[in-house]
Amino acid sequence: MMENDSRIAVAGAGSIGCYVGGRLAAAGRTVRFMVRPQAEATLRLGGLKLIDLDGRESLLDPADLKLTVDPAIAFAGVDIILVTVKSGATEAMAKLIARHAPPGANRDQPSEWRRQRRGPAPEPSRANDNHLGNGAFQRHSVRTGSSAPDRTAHDGRNHFHRR
């Protein structure tokens, strides 16, 4: 379980990244979104609107969003990096993370895990995009978690829906 004060970066804030990161930010977590320039402009204008399965809407004010296109800024001082890019972009993102992330944020060696958490180390997992395996993260020594199939929708503005 993550600590309440964990600093989180969303690497690749598209549909999934904006929805998940937005939910975390709405819950009071510190979240920095690494976005493309066009998404940054849209979110700075209208904020981030989230719609859940029951149709409940929430809006994160633009002033409350931490947005950047610069990976050095996105990953500086974070504890957790959520990688939410498509499979074809995982290798490039792994290289950015390896270059810019603090050492503890992008890899957790099993011996460190045992020493700090006094439990069994998690099994290495593979980056996953709609259930298609991608070993780019292992090749760049970046630990990742499995992702669910894409069940979010983006309407082209600042609205992100969970379906």
In this prediction, the residues of the chain whose per-residue pLDDT falls under 50 are: 106-115, 117-133, 136-150
Name the residue with tokens 């549909």.
15
The confidence score (pLDDT) of residue 87 equals 87
Domains (ranges, CATH) in the chain? 7-162 (3.40.50.720)
The confidence score (pLDDT) of residue 76 equals 93
For residues 32-43, one letter each, b for 16 or more C-beta atoms within 10 angstroms of the residue's C-beta and e for the rest, the string is bbbbeeebbebb
The confidence score (pLDDT) of residue 160 equals 64
Q: Mind listing the pLDDT tens digit for each residue in 3-22? A: 678 999 999 999 999 999 99
Classify residue 22 by burial, with Cβ atoms within 10 Å: 0-12, 13-18, 19+: buried
Task: Look up the pTM and report it.
Answer: 0.68
The confidence score (pLDDT) of residue 10 equals 95
Coil, helix or strand at residue 8 = strand
User: In this structure, are residues 136 and 90 in contact, taking their beta carbons and an 8 Å threshold?
Assistant: yes
Classify residue 124 by burial, with Cβ atoms within 10 Å: 0-12, 13-18, 19+: exposed
DSSP state of 53: T
